[in-house]
Structure 1
């Protein structure tokens, strides 16, 4: 063989090996097994970490590791992992197998017959084999858990021994089981002592509640169903210290809203004692201390201070103030009750819409259950006075108090009298009152506010932002002294990027000084300190963010597990960490603000071409966990030092991605015809070849470029574009940002989307300008519909839930919320800026329906009959118009599904159809049956038309 022959043979072998090694594209079978991080946590000590890895469909896995990344425990189907506060035990639920649940659903089993959860207990000190308990309905640990877990399980009455064979102690709240009950199940509350494995068992318990310090366990028992006078029914208190049980409230009914004072000396709850079938349940407020034999009624209908025809709400939470002197509760008007003696078919069923109603009838109906459960705040002083002090009533929207709740003042807001205008304004102006928790008297302090109001931590000041003046203000609640906090500085504190015809909002409050005298407030880039007494403000980040176009936001690493403490206190005597986002490069990371009172530049700790999420620190803020991702790497979990110099990867959730042709993401910049600087993301296949020509699809929804370094998992779509799938299968995908001009949202789509696509085709030979497509959902769907009436540059279009007729949609209802759609066109996303009668021509200009005769692009419409955001008749209007005009159009209505597809089987179906549609028109592949001939109703549910 000569040298040339050898060379050819070698080259042929090399090329065949290369072809064989080429990665395959993603297919539709990959979705279910593509995983994400579910829950994740780091122990207070920082010594242990646990997380769940969750497939899109199937069984999750729970893993427990130490700080050195050693795997201590792997729990298939593990769920809700919890470490005791002393790091001695790990407790988790175990879900039934996905396949078993699926089969049970197929067999239409009742809820009681469905596969049950299990409970797992693992000792971290001895690392023995985990203990597991079956048929567990629920389990709970105290907030400061150390030695116990309580759980309810179902046991067979026929068993002579409890199913927990390790049980050594049993305390019964029920009569002994009769022979007649054998073979059935009983519900048992098990109190498991984690160090020894001993259990104390309580029969017939239906609910239970831990005291935070793990020293008391409350449990309720309904008694026998047929016995309304059961002597066993009531609320019991079990003391873990002396192993004693005490009945503290007697009677069958409903016990709920348990709450202890911070010192655990006081207990409150509400209870209704009567028949569960009662339509109107009268709850009463009960109070108990160890000095009492039984809980006493503290407030009820007719109590001193209780408004006439009102009573204690059974739906409100209870909360003691931190000092224990006050108890906050909820009151509610006594509701009207339906007359069950009326014969339903003899009476009309109707809704009466009245022009003076605060809210439209559909909105009232959507919020009916919420309104039936609505309560209004009140306070009572358990030790000093049984007088109920109402703090708000039906005219008020919201009450604001401090986390501690010790101070006299609370704030209440109301938009009563202005609610009708929310039909077109969305937001309404409110009045703000201060209310005394001592007397209940209120005083108007802000007559009109279009903005947000906050209460300082010591309840000394109301701090508020007024959108009309773009100003931050403080109001001394004791003296009435008002200060304009940002009057002396030029920095803007309103949304600088707002392009909607409405007043911009603020960037919000970052936190407070611990003495409550300073509010920390964000502008677009920096953090400012506003002394509430009106002294000169300062930027604690020294303007560094604005100078470098980096948005800096305080990272609250102060771990407060108590639900009371939600206030973000900023102590400048300690180092402060800041989340950072670079608007120019799209990089994310963290900066540090060194300890000290002086103004100083923050220092970068980490900036990277990644997106970081789920940041959580241990109690000392020495170690942190987070997920890190970019388009090429799925969001795996990492642990690191707070200095971000000891990163350790904990998971590799999607190793299979490396076996598929994936893709890349890059930022594209261009100038629009009107001279606007524009940017967007271009996604290319991993095996991109600049010598080939590629079809391209534009996907858009306002601005997406900030997600340049975000991961996108291949998943069946709710109607958006499955970018990873299309890129993997040889498409370019372009996601351009859009900036809007009031009155002309359609023209903005033309300006940015069309010019961006033309720019790519003009400057890159690998873009096939004859094979361009567009896809959008909701607002993006509207823009698709508009674009195909203005240009023929697109070979295929897919629009999901589009508005095509702003004149008819203007008067429509968002059925998911019951709200009128008028606000959307005048003041928010549609950006017309005026009502229909003031700007009739603009509504027509921006309604694709009136220009559908110009369409030459084949288009698929998805619009579902239970769309709660855009009335689905908009899709019908588009389809019937194009059908009459004999334009190629298809309408997909997924029966009973929502605006974005919810049901996974529908998502899988639309994914296949979207691919078939674009493959046919942009790649020239044969059309599927549903594209060529459709599927007639007579074949519905028999054939789906997906075959080619």
Structure 2
């Protein structure tokens, strides 16, 4: 054989191997849209079938239906939010319109009624038959039967009437009770037989849990002879329609009892032009020809001037004897003589107000709908008991709604202190549903979290000041400290804020309220609420081995743990941060059995209701969160395999790093490296931080447009080291605490020859943005910094408003994240010392600030203060202000934009890449919307 031919043959044979060795591509901004995630995995009640959706970040998703042993059944393009029927024979799901069609409709600025509509799909799991119903607005699947009801979209009716100006409050009140909206067709389907029934002009509907009846409200079109307005009920088995209430009106909150044998609803049938339209409460047991009014405005059982509410949830007790509903003062009539442009518009702030005006405006709609819980007994001559009122307005029903008492709390006359404490002190009562008697649980108001046990036998709460859990017995009227004698803390042992530590929480109750399971830092305790007798359910294994055991009841809608139940405990190793599951039967005295522990992140498991089979997801730094099925969490079947394209890109690795801070504190962080890391090379490093983040070391972080944080996958893929240090805080020293942990961690890593100490960056958002701003006033070792939504002047921010909630910012600085621990006038020097603004002359680091004009958490003028002051000092500084955007960017187009700019900025200062135009020359306002300045600036000396 001639040598040239032999050489060519040899090279051809080596081509596959050479191709395999080709370097992987770095991630770029074009990859975002196609990166996928698994959404809503579910398992059927019999454990035989699994469904889940795979969704790209932008575009059309796919619904997958499979058997538990991974046999494919169907792939439904654009299938979404699916559910199994109770008998495990059907899957029901909306089918979204194609993303491209929706996008085009938005481009054409079509109105909501003209936008592409959802369809509804029904898949028969045993036969493989797929049925689609077009143009569906909403749907309900019976909880205990294969009966489906769905409402189509209403026909579009063009409104030719001129729109008169309206006062804001009138818009709200009228809009809440608008009875003049066109109805749409309601379709009822028996999935087992395939029979359907359609009803016209329906505005609201409710399917009973057993699927034996559907109730619906009808608004007849004008001039219709065939369709009559009213409230109707259809008996599915008998095929009979019953008219329960006639006439045009507003019918709301349709509610069946659990057996589908009783129905209640609220309705008003006042003339359309009536200025006040109070509701009445209706009831039917389907024996009479029509529903009866069991409570109407002006009845003696009601407080004077009150009536049943159209907004209160209506609910039958489990045994069907009690009917819970809401009452409210009659709405005030609007003054129709008032001309909109002739009266003042203002907000009046009064120091006696319970809530600041911004909070009141934020909750205005909720307050207009506020109602107060009451109960009525339809089978006992409509006996009624008012349970809540203006003083006692927050109550909680036991899961066992037959229980005599409800738990109610009040913070009346104690709300002003929310301004500086962040929450309020509450008093709690048990209120009898038979007599209305109120039994005070804690005569002195306290910072506590109250709840009622599932069976209704105990009130349970955690007292912040006492740092203990308490139970109050309904039967004995005794209060027991549940955690006093355990010898361990049930409050956050690592709390580093000047406020009472949070509890670790509650896992679950056992049947009949015999025991409650509470968490300490590591273990779960099983405690008798009557006696306080406590046993360590996890046998102390958690604290011994630094394992954090946590539990969630896996069966949907189960309220307590049965004696025979076996608990799957989601577990994290507090030292190496690995995750997994342990198992322990409720009645066992043995230590929990280890099922799986790995350098991965596990989701909570969902258990089949009638089978020992589980569905869950797990992921790692390099493995996306895929769906798995298992009977014991040891042997498992993988059902999904998303993001196959990841293999083509340079990914990242993650490792825990440890160091000692200058003050001798043991510190932990995570170091992310490029997958192709070479220890003989030097890499620029960016530090990103937000309190403590190392617990998430094994969480999968796919590339995604950032709301303003650091996209770790993108930066690692592009040749950066990313360091995320945990920070512990000293009260009164939030800024120096960041210096203590972040800078010392960076200094420790700089000792490695592969860290480019001349090219270090820092990035943080919100609280992290504040820390970035502070750090660059304390050191010049960072070559570039990015601060998202920072606070730089605690003195000016202290008295401001968090506009998203309407709350004052004072509590944050005194009690929570800012950790000053005192008022501004008590320790002004602490506020000044921790405010970067007063030390800006020391800054030498180029810094980009993101500060948005609709930020509801941090005053956006804080970013302006930082920018204008650094600008005056001649420092390199840029401000990105996304118009109409929030604290964290919401709009995807803005997230994509900031992701590009962030990488450009760090590439320029840490890698020497050419500067883009926005960084070099800026973008004048006259070019706004036409030039984004993302292209490389030519001829720049930067």
Shorter-chain TM-score category? over 0.9
Offset at 1:456?
2.8
State which of 735, 742, 748 in structure 2 corresponds to 1:746: 735
RMSD, aligned CA: 2.5
SS at match of 2:441: strand
Change (3 A) 1:485 1:87: closer
Q: Map Cα deviations across residues 708-727 of structure 1 (whole Å, 9 max, x no partner).
A: 11011100110000110000
SS at match of 2:774: helix
| 2:433 alignment counterpart | 437
CA distance in 1, matches of 2:611, 2:735: 49
Q: Which deviates more from structure 2 when the two are superposed, residues 664-673 or residues 612-621?
A: 612-621
SS at match of 1:747: helix
| 1:70 alignment counterpart | 71
Aligned residues: 908
| 2:108 alignment counterpart | 107
State which of 704, 723, 733 in structure 2 corresponds to 1:734: 723
Change (3 A) 1:413 1:252: same
| 2:571 alignment counterpart | 580
| 1:370 alignment counterpart | 366
Change (3 A) 1:148 1:459: closer
Q: Map Cα deviations across residues 761-796 of structure 1 (whole Å, 9 max, x no partner).
A: 11x100001000000000000000000000000000
Change (3 A) 1:932 1:278: farther
Q: Map Cα deviations across residues 161-192 of structure 1 (whole Å, 9 max, x no partner).
A: xxxxxxxxxxxxxxxxxxxxxxxx99432333
CA distance in 1, matches of 2:41, 2:697: 25
Matches within 5 A, 1:405-424: 405-424=401-420
Change (3 A) 1:912 1:278: farther
Offset at 1:307?
1.2
| 1:592 alignment counterpart | 583
| 1:171 alignment counterpart | none
Report if the CA contact (8 A) 1:714-1:725 is conserved: yes
Change (3 A) 1:59 1:6: closer
State which of 448, 459, 462 in structure 2 corresponds to 1:462: 459
Report if the CA contact (8 A) 2:205-2:254 is conserved: no
| 2:251 alignment counterpart | 255
CA distance in 2, matches of 1:479, 1:403: 21
Q: Which deviates more from structure 2 when the two are superposed, residues 605-614 or residues 749-758?
A: 605-614
Report if the CA contact (8 A) 2:39-2:54 is conserved: yes
Matches within 5 A, 1:341-490: 341-447=337-443, 448-490=445-487
Matched, 1:769 2:765: no
Change (3 A) 1:517 1:320: same
Offset at 1:153?
5.6
Offset at 1:11?
15
Q: Which deviates more from structure 2 when the two are superposed, residues 89-98 or residues 934-943?
A: 89-98
Offset at 1:349?
0.5
| 1:42 alignment counterpart | 43
Offset at 1:432?
1.3
SS at match of 2:382: strand
| 1:125 alignment counterpart | 126
Q: Map Cα deviations across residues 325-358 of structure 1 (whole Å, 9 max, x no partner).
A: 1111111122324323211111111000000100
CA distance in 2, matches of 1:766, 1:276: 76
State which of 695, 698, 701 in structure 2 corresponds to 1:706: 695
Offset at 1:104?
0.7
Change (3 A) 1:489 1:89: closer
CA distance in 1, matches of 2:379, 2:183: 41
TM-score (norm 2): 0.93
Matches within 5 A, 1:527-546: 527-546=524-543
CA distance in 1, matches of 2:229, 2:586: 58
Q: Map Cα deviations across residues 300-328 of structure 1 (whole Å, 9 max, x no partner).
A: 22223211222111111111111211111
Change (3 A) 1:278 1:633: farther
Offset at 1:474?
2.3
| 1:338 alignment counterpart | 334
State which of 593, 599, 605 in structure 1 corresponds to 2:595: 605
Report if the CA contact (8 A) 1:700-1:736 is conserved: yes
Report if the CA contact (8 A) 1:483-1:532 is conserved: yes
| 2:811 alignment counterpart | 823
| 1:81 alignment counterpart | 82
> Structure 2 stretches of 5 or more lacking a match?
158-181, 937-942
Offset at 1:416?
1.0
State which of 605, 614, 637 in structure 2 corresponds to 1:615: 605
Change (3 A) 1:651 1:845: same
| 1:136 alignment counterpart | 136
| 2:547 alignment counterpart | 550
Matched, 1:207 2:204: yes
Offset at 1:507?
1.6
| 2:845 alignment counterpart | 857
| 1:496 alignment counterpart | 493
Change (3 A) 1:414 1:935: same
Change (3 A) 1:742 1:275: farther
Q: Which deviates more from structure 2 when the two are superposed, residues 937-946 or residues 82-91?
A: 82-91
CA distance in 2, matches of 1:519, 1:42: 28
CA distance in 2, matches of 1:44, 1:307: 47
Q: Which deviates more from structure 2 when the two are superposed, residues 147-156 or residues 734-743?
A: 147-156
State which of 559, 563, 569 in structure 1 corresponds to 2:561: 569
| 2:646 alignment counterpart | 657
Report if the CA contact (8 A) 1:224-1:230 is conserved: no
CA distance in 2, matches of 1:147, 1:218: 14
State which of 255, 260, 273 in structure 2 corresponds to 1:264: 260
Offset at 1:75?
0.6
Q: Map Cα deviations across residues 380-414 of structure 1 (whole Å, 9 max, x no partner).
A: 11110323311111223421221112222222111
Report if the CA contact (8 A) 2:210-2:259 is conserved: no
Q: Which deviates more from structure 2 when the two are superposed, residues 726-735 or residues 141-150?
A: 141-150
Offset at 1:460?
3.0
CA distance in 1, matches of 2:448, 2:373: 23
SS at match of 1:59: coil
| 1:915 alignment counterpart | 903
CA distance in 1, matches of 2:347, 2:222: 38
| 1:166 alignment counterpart | none
Matched, 1:786 2:782: no
Offset at 1:932?
0.7
Change (3 A) 1:761 1:570: farther
| 2:165 alignment counterpart | none
Offset at 1:845?
0.4
CA distance in 1, matches of 2:754, 2:852: 37
CA distance in 1, matches of 2:21, 2:849: 40
CA distance in 2, matches of 1:19, 1:119: 45
Q: Which deviates more from structure 2 when the two are superposed, residues 9-18 or residues 733-742?
A: 9-18
CA distance in 1, matches of 2:12, 2:749: 36
CA distance in 2, matches of 1:537, 1:308: 49
CA distance in 1, matches of 2:628, 2:848: 42
Report if the CA contact (8 A) 2:735-2:771 is conserved: yes
Offset at 1:681?
0.7
Report if the CA contact (8 A) 1:421-1:428 is conserved: yes
| 2:92 alignment counterpart | 91
CA distance in 1, matches of 2:798, 2:510: 46
Report if the CA contact (8 A) 1:512-1:570 is conserved: no
CA distance in 2, matches of 1:808, 1:230: 67
| 2:628 alignment counterpart | 638
Report if the CA contact (8 A) 1:669-1:680 is conserved: yes
| 2:288 alignment counterpart | 292
CA distance in 2, matches of 1:887, 1:88: 67
CA distance in 1, matches of 2:334, 2:16: 80
TM-score (norm 1): 0.92
Offset at 1:560?
4.2
| 2:168 alignment counterpart | none
Q: Map Cα deviations across residues 737-781 of structure 1 (whole Å, 9 max, x no partner).
A: 00000000000100000010110011x100001000000000000
> Structure 1 stretches of 5 or more lacking a match?
158-184
Offset at 1:374?
1.5
Offset at 1:203?
2.2
Offset at 1:146?
1.8
Offset at 1:94?
1.1
Change (3 A) 1:752 1:84: same
Change (3 A) 1:134 1:407: closer
